[in-house]
C-alpha cells in the first residue's frame, strides 16, 4: 500500500481518512488504521452497504470497468460509533483505482471535518443533523463547532436555535426547503445547493449545502443531514464579486458617457421636428406621424438620386461610386414599397445607414471631378447632399431619442446595482441623519429618469425639516433610491397626462415609540397577493410576475436591499397593492398589451409603500413637544 501512503502524506497530509482495498465485486479486504478511525466496515462486507444510499453507491460501482482511470465520488457514509461523536454519518470523498490483482485500491477522506474544509475547500463550513420530533417539528440533534460559528456570526453568546425553521429568512423559505426535499425520492441528495439562511442576529447568510435525507411512507422528511458552506468567504465567490464589481463600474461609466454623447449629438442637428412630441417618451409617439416624417425625407432622396443617375446617362459618365449610388436607390425604393411591413424604428435605422453611405459616395464624386470634360452640375450635387443630410438627420434623431431614453433607464439601475456591490461586507456608519436630506438626494438622483419616463413627484405637504433618525446616511439614501426607482420604473403610463408619484413624510408613533413614516403612492404594475403574503417580493434576485413580463430588464435586488437596510436601523418596510381602473380625476390609464400564459392582461394597481424609522433619541424630547402642539400631523398613514 505504498501508493496510498504517498497519496496520504504528500497530498492529503494528516486529514482524517485512509486507504482500503476491495476485491473485484466490491467486498472490503483490507482497511488501514487511519481509515478505521472514521469508517468501520467488516472484512468481507460490500463497501457500499455502509453508505446512506447503498443502491445508488452499488449502481455507481458496478458501472466502473476494469482498466478505468482513477475516479472520485462523494458519498454519505456511516461513521464508526463513538460516545464522544454522536454523528452517525459523514460526507466522504472516495477515491478508487484498479489494482493489479483485478481488485480495487481505495482511499477515503472525511470531508465533513473542519480540517478538510479548511484545506480543500477554503470555505468556512459546518455539519449538522436534524430529526423530526413527536410534534412534527425539525429539531437540531447534532452540529459541529463550525456550524455553530456560522450561525452565530461572530456572536459567541448567541444561542444556537434547535428549531430548524429559525435558520431560514421566513416561513415561506422553510416551506420551500421542505417541499424541495419531499419532491425528490428517498435517499436522494443535493450537492452544492445554493440558498439563503440567516444568522442568530437575523442577518442574511448565503450558503451552499450538500444535503441528504430520509423520507417516511407518508412522504415526510424524518431526518436530514448537511454540510453548509458560507459562500461569502469562498475564494471563488469573492473573486467573482470583484470581477462583477469591476464590470459593473465599467458598464455604468460607459452608459453614462454614451448617454451624454447622444445628448450632445442632438445639438448640431439644426431643426428638430420631434421637440414638441415629448422626445423622452418616444414609445408613445404616433406611429403614423413617424412614418410620415420618414416618408417626407425619403421621397426627395429618391427623386434626387434618380435625377443624378439620369444625368449620368445623358452625359455618359461612369464611376464605381455611381454603381453604388444606383444600388442605394434600389434599396430605398424597396424600403419605400415595403414600408408597412417594418416598424418605424427599423426603417429609421435603414435610412440612417443608406443615407450615410450616399453622403460618403457624393464626397468621392466631388473629389473625382475632372478639370475638363462633362461632369455633374454643382446644383444637382449640392441639392442631393442637402436632401441626403436631411434624411439622415431625421432618421438619426428617431434612433437617438429612444436609445438615449433606454440608456437613461439603464443608468439608475446600474448605479444602484453598483452601490449594492460596493457596500458588500461594509459595516454601517450610524450617525444622526436628516431624513429629508436622504430623500432629497435620492429624488435628485432619479430626476432625469423620472423626466424620461414622464413621471412627476407630488409632495402632499412640505417636508418636516426636523425629521432626524439614527442611521447610515449613504445606506439610507440607497434604500430610498431603490424604492423611488421602482416607483418610477413601474408607474403605469397615462394616456394624455403625466402620472404623479405622491410623497409624504409624517411623524408617527408605533407601539409607543416615536418615529417618522415615509409614504409613497403610485399607480403601477400589480404585485400579486401571494408575493406580498409570502414575502417573496423581498427575496434576493426575485422579480414579480408582471414586473418580469412587462419590464424584462431588472436585477431583483431593490426591495431586498431596501428592507435589509431599513430593518438594520430598527425600521419597517410595508407594501400594499390594490386594483385600480383609472387615475382619480384624470385621464384613463394607457392599456398594456402584455399577458401571461393564460391570456390574462394586467390591470394597474395602486401601490403604496411605507417606511417607518425610529426617531433619533437626541431629538425625541423636542419632537414630542412640537407634535403635541400639531396633533393633525400624527395621523396614521392611509
Give the whole-angstrom CA distance, residue 158 versus residue 413: 37
Return phi, psi of residue 273, to 5°: -75, -5
- What is the full DSSP assignment across 477-517? HHHHHHHHHHHHHHBPPBSSSPPEEEEEEEEEEETTEEEEE
Confidence of residue 26 (pLDDT cuts 50, 70, 90): very high
Which DSSP symbol is given to 571? Answer: -
Give the whole-angstrom CA distance, residue 48 versus residue 39: 12
Q: Which of 187, 189, 618 is nearest to 434 (CA)?
A: 618
Per-residue pLDDT tens digits for 489-518? 888 766 555 678 999 999 999 888 899 999
Q: Is the pLDDT of residue 220 over 70?
A: yes
Give the whole-angstrom CA distance, residue 191 versus residue 175: 20
Structural domains of the chain sorted by starting position, each given as residue range(s) with its CATH number in brackets: 2-112 (3.30.450.20), 123-233 (3.30.450.20), 275-405 (no CATH), 427-634 (3.30.565.10)
For position 398, what pLDDT does the model report? 79
For position 555, what pLDDT does the model report? 78
Which residue is it, cell 481505495?
Answer: 106
Per-residue pLDDT tens digits for 581-611? 655 445 445 555 454 445 566 678 889 999 9
Q: Which of 483, 561, 573, 479 is nearest to 204 (CA)?
A: 561
Q: Quick one: 197 exposed, middle or buried, by C-beta within 10 A (0-12, 13-18, 19+)?
A: buried
How high does pLDDT run on average in the chain? Answer: 76
- Dihedral, CA of residue 221, residue 225, residue 230 and residue 236, to nearest 10: -100
pTM: 0.54
Per-residue pLDDT tens digits for 423-474? 766 778 889 999 999 999 999 989 888 887 778 898 888 889 888 999 999 9
Segment 540-544 mean pLDDT? 81
Which residue is it, cell 445508488?
Answer: 56
User: Strands 500-510, 456-459: parallel, antiparallel or unpaired by DSSP?
Assistant: parallel
3-state SS class at 430: coil
Per-residue pLDDT tens digits for 378-429? 888 889 988 998 888 888 887 777 777 777 777 788 788 878 877 766 778 8
Q: Is the pLDDT of residue 613 over 90?
A: yes
Per-residue pLDDT tens digits for 41-57? 999 999 999 887 788 88
Segment 190-213 mean pLDDT? 72
Return phi, psi of residue 499, to 5°: -75, 130
Residue 119 CB contacts under 8 Å (≥ 6 apart), including other chains: 13, 15
Confidence of residue 92 (pLDDT cuts 50, 70, 90): confident
Which range of 95-99, 253-257, 285-289 scores highest in mean pLDDT? It is 95-99
Cα atoms in the 13 Å half-sphere on the side-chain side of 420: 25
Amino acid at each position: 500500500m505504498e501508493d496510498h501512503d504517498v497519496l496520504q502524506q504528500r497530498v492529503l497530509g494528516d486529514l482524517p481518512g485512509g486507504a482500503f482495498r476491495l476485491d473485484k465485486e466490491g467486498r472490503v479486504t483490507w482497511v488501514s488504521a487511519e481509515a478505521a478511525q472514521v469508517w468501520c466496515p467488516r472484512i468481507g462486507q460490500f463497501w457500499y452497504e455502509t453508505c446512506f444510499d447503498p443502491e445508488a453507491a452499488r449502481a455507481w460501482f458496478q458501472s466502473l470497468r476494469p482498466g478505468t482511470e482513477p475516479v472520485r465520488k462523494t458519498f454519505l457514509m456511516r461513521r464508526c460509533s463513538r460516545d464522544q461523536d454522536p454523528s452517525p454519518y459523514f460526507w466522504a470523498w472516495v477515491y478508487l483505482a484498479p489494482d493489479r490483482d483485478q481488485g480495487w485500491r481505495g482511499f477515503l477522506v472525511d470531508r465533513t471535518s473542519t480540517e478538510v474544509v479548511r484545506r480543500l475547500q477554503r470555505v468556512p463550513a459546518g455539519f449538522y443533523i436534524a430529526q423530526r420530533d413527536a410534534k412534527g417539528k425539525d429539531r437540531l440533534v447534532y452540529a459541529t463547532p463550525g456550524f455553530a460559528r456560522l450561525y452565530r456570526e461572530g456572536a459567541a453568546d448567541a444561542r444556537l436555535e434547535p428549531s430548524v425553521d429559525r435558520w431560514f429568512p421566513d416561513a415561506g423559505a422553510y416551506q420551500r426547503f421542505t417541499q424541495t426535499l419531499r419532491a425528490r425520492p428517498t435517499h436522494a441528495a443535493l450537492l452544492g445547493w445554493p440558498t439563503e439562511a440567516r444568522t442568530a442576529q437575523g442577518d442574511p447568510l448565503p450558503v451552499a449545502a450538500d444535503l441528504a435525507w430520509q423520507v417516511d411512507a407518508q412522504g415526510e422528511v424524518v431526518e436530514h443531514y448537511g454540510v453548509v458552506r458560507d459562500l461569502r468567504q469562498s475564494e471563488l465567490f469573492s473573486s467573482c464579486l470583484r470581477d462583477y464589481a469591476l464590470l459593473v463600474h465599467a458598464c455604468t461609466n460607459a452608459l453614462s458617457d454614451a448617454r451624454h454623447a447622444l445628448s450632445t449629438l442632438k445639438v448640431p442637428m439644426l431643426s428638430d421636428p420631434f421637440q414638441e412630441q415629448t422626445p423622452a417618451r418616444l414609445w408613445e409617439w404616433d406611429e403614423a406621424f413617424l412614418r410620415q416624417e420618414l416618408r417626407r425625407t425619403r421621397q426627395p432622396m429618391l427623386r434626387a438620386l434618380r435625377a443624378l443617375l439620369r444625368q449620368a446617362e445623358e452625359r455618359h459618365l461612369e464611376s464605381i461610386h455611381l454603381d453604388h449610388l444606383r444600388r442605394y436607390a434600389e434599396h430605398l425604393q424597396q424600403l419605400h414599397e415595403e414600408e408597412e411591413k417594418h416598424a418605424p424604428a427599423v426603417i429609421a435605422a435603414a435610412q440612417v445607414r443608406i443615407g450615410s453611405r450616399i453622403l460618403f459616395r457624393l464626397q468621392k464624386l466631388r473629389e473625382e471631378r475632372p478639370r475638363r470634360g462633362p461632369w455633374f452640375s454643382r446644383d444637382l450635387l449640392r441639392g442631393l447632399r442637402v436632401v441626403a443630410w436631411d434624411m439622415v438627420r431625421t432618421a438619426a434623431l428617431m434612433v437617438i431619442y429612444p436609445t438615449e431614453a433606454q440608456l437613461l433607464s439603464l443608468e439608475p439601475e446600474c448605479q444602484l446595482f453598483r452601490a449594492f456591490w460596493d457596500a458588500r461586507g461594509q459595516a454601517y456608519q450610524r450617525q444622526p441623519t436628516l431624513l429629508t436630506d436622504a430623500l432629497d438626494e435620492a429624488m435628485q438622483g432619479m430626476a432625469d429618469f423620472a423626466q424620461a419616463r414622464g413621471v412627476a413627484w407630488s409632495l402632499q405637504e412640505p417636508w418636516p425639516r426636523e425629521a432626524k433618525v439614527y442611521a447610515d446616511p449613504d445606506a439610507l439614501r440607497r434604500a430610498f433610491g431603490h424604492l423611488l426607482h421602482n416607483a418610477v420604473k413601474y408607474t403605469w403610463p397615462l394616456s394624455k397626462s403625466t402620472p404623479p408619484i405622491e410623497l409624504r413624510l409624517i411623524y408617527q408613533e408605533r407601539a409607543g415609540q416615536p418615529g417618522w413614516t415615509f409614504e409613497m403612492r403610485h399607480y403601477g404594475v400589480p404585485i400579486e397577493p401571494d408575493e406580498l403574503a409570502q414575502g417573496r417580493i423581498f427575496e434576493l434576485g426575485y422579480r414579480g410576475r408582471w414586473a418580469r413580463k412587462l419590464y424584462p430588464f431588472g436585477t431583483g435586488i431593490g426591495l431586498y436591499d431596501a428592507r435589509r437596510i431599513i430593518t438594520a436601523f430598527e425600521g419597517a418596510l410595508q407594501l400594499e397593492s390594490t386594483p385600480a381602473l383609472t387615475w382619480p380625476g384624470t385621464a384613463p390609464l394607457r392599456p398594456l398589451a402584455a399577458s401571461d400564459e393564460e391570456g390574462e392582461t394586467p390591470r394597474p394597481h395602486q401601490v403604496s409603500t411605507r417606511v417607518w424609522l425610529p426617531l433619533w433619541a437626541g431629538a425625541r424630547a423636542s419632537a414630542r413637544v412640537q407634535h403635541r402642539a400639531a396633533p393633525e400631523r400624527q395621523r396614521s398613514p392611509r
